Structure 1
Amino acid sequence: MFPAAEEYDIDIAVDDAEVERLLSVGPADVDAAPRLTYARNVFLPLTTACRYTCTYCTFYDVPGQATLMSPEDVRETLRMGADAGCTEALFTFGDEPDERYTEIHAQLDEWGYDDILEYLYRVCEIALEEGLLPHSNPGDLTEADFERLREVNASMGTMLETTAEVQAHSGGRRKTPGQRLNTLRAAGRAKVPFTTGILVGIGESWRDRAESLLAVRELHERHGHVQEVIVQNVVPNERSAFETPDLETMRRVVAMARAALPEAVSVQVPPNLSPARDLLDCGIDDLGGVSPVTDDYVNPDYAWPALRELESIADDGGVPLGERLPVYDRFLPEDPDAPAAEWEWTGEPVREAMRADDDAGRRYRSLVDGWT
C-alpha cells in the first residue's frame, strides 16, 4: 500500500517491476496519437479562497483579499462564453475555504448558501440554463459531495499532482497525497467522468512520477472513470522560484504517462504552459480546455493560444484537430435519445441539456461521434 494512502484505507500496491519499466521508457517507446482534441471553454474562478497554501500557487488569495464571483457576474461571463461558441463552463477554485475566510462565508450566507459547494451547484445550474456544460475543479471532495455535484456536472477534476510528500505542500494547512487519492477514489465510486494529472517540477523524484501515474491507473482500472491525465509542468511565479522542467524532462514524463495509462485515457498537456508541438511524438492526444474569451486564472502570466495556433500544432504533427465536449464520448450512450439507464455517467439535468432541441443541444450533439 502507498504510505500516503494508508490514512484513508486505500489499497494501492506499488509494483516495483512496473515502476522500473516506466523509468526506462522514453519517447521512442510510445506511438504518436492519430489525432488531437481540445475543448472550447469559458473559465470562471468562482472563488480565490483556499484552505491550502501551496508554495507554487498564485491562484489563492489570503483572507480579506479573496474574491467570490456573484451570480450576476457568473451569468454574464457564461453568456459571453456561449456567444463565443464555448461548450464548457470551467469552474475552478481553491479547496473549500476554512473558517479564516469569514468574509467569504458571510457573503455566501447573505446569498442564502450554506457553503461554497452548495453555491457551486447553483452556478452549475446557471451554466446549463445558459447553454454550457459544467466541468468543476473544486479540490478535495467526499463521495457524498461527488454524488450531489455529478447531477449538474458533465465532468469534474482534481489534480493528484504527486503521491510523494514534497516541501511544496508543507505547512500547517497543506494538501496531502492521501487526501488527493481519496478524492480520486471517491469520484470513481460516484461515477463521475474525471480529469486528474501530475505536476512536474515541485520536488518529486522520477520514481515519484512513475508511482503517481501507476496510482491513477490502478484507481481507474477499478472504477473506469478517468478520462484524461494532465502532465503539467510547474512554472515560476511571484510566490515561488521553481524552475520550469526542461524539454527533455517533459518529453520523458509524457512518454511515461502514455506508457502507464490505458489507451482509452487521454494524455493532455496545457498548450499555454508546455511546448506541445515538441511533445506530439511522445503520445499526447489532447490539448485541454482553451478559452477564446477568458484568461487562465491559475496561470495568469501565460495566455491561452488562439485556435489557429492549435491548428498549427496539429498540422506540424500531421494529425487532425478536433473539438470535444468536457465529457468524453465513451461516457455517453451511442444514441442521444437512449433511455436514462444508458446515461449512467450523466445526471438528469446534464442529460436533458445535451438532448435539448435548441442551439446549445445541437452544438453539443455536433461534437459527439455518431450523434450528428
Structure 2
Amino acid sequence: MSRSLEVAIRDLLSSKGKVDRVAKDLLNKLSSQTLRLEEKTAYVNFLIRAGYGQEILALYSTWFKEKSDIPLMSYCFLLYRIGYKPDAEFLKNFFEIYKNFNGHSLLTHFLPWETLDPRFIDLKNATVDKLTHIAKERKEKYLIKLDYLRANRMIEEEEKLLDKLVKFYPDDSNFQTDKKNFRQRWARAIISRKAFESFDGGAEHTEPLFTEDELSAAKIFTTEIKKLAKKKPQLAYNLSIALYFLELYDLAHETLFFAPQALNVDWFSIEVLFRSRRYAQCLDAIAIVEKKYSDDPETVFGTTYYRALALDGLGQTGMAAELLKSIVTIRPTYRSAHSLLLKWGGRI
C-alpha cells in the first residue's frame, strides 16, 4: 500500500472515530466511484482484515459483471479464507479474467483447487517458471556487478554484495568460496597496508641504540637467537620483529631468512632492508613482492611507497617524489605519501 493511501485510511479513522463508519465510507467509495486498481486493492485488503468479507464478495460480483479491473490477488485470498469451493461457472469466469491479469503473482498459493481443474496445475507451473526465470536474471545481474566491483577494486562494496549473495543464495557454495577468498584478500591488503603506513619517515636515521662495543659483547646472545630461528623456523618471524624493535636491523634480516615464506614475511623483509640501509637489496625485494602479490589491490601502493623510500636513500629524491605524487594523484587520502612529500619539499 502506498504512503498516500495509508494516510487516507488513517485520516478516515481519525475523523470517523470507529472502524464500522470507516468501512461504510470505503464500501461506498468502492461501489460508487471509479477508482484506480491500487486504491481498490488497498481498500479491499483493509476491509477484508476488518471483517467485511461478505460485503466485499458482493462487490466482486458486481465488478465481474461490469468486467472492470479487480484486485484478483485479494479476491483469491478472501475465497481461500472462507473455504470456498468454486463451481464450473466460477472457474470459467476465473480463467477468463486471469488471461488479462498482468504480471506474475503468488495467487496460486491461496488456491488449493488443483483437484477441481487441471488448469490450476498449469497456472502454478507457469508461475514457478516465471519466478525462476526472474530469479536467474537477478542473479546474473548480481554476478555482473560483482565482476565490476572486483575489476575496479571497490573492496567495501564488494564485501557488502558478497554478504548479500551469501544470504540470498545459502545453497550456492560458489558464493561461500568467494566470501572466503575475499576475506583472505582483505587480510592480505590490511597486512600490506600496515606494513608501510606504520612508517612515515624518509631515509634519515637516528643513532643506533647500541654501540659497536655493546654489540660485540652481546654476540653470544645474537648467535643463540639465530640458532633458535634456524632450529624452529616458526619462531623466526617473531624473533626478527623483536630484534627490529631493538634497532638491530641487520640481525633482524638475517633471522628473518629462516622464517617460512608468507605475505607478512615478504613485506617485513622490505622494511628491515630499508632500515638497515641496504637500498639496492630493498629495491630487489620490492620487485619480488610486486610480482608475487600482483593480485592484491594494495600491493601497487605499498611497493611504490617503499620504492620511493629506497630511491631517496640512494640519493634520487626527485625520482622518489615523482613516485609519491603518482600515489596521491590516484589516492588523495594517502597520508603517508603526503607527509613525506612535504618533508622532502626542501630537498627537491
Bigger CA radius of gyration: 2
**Structure with the largest fraction of strand:** 1
**Structure with the largest fraction of helix:** 2
TM category, shorter: under 0.3
Which protein has greater RCO, CA pairs closer than 8 Å, 6+ apart?
1
TM-score (norm 2): 0.26
TM-score (norm 1): 0.25
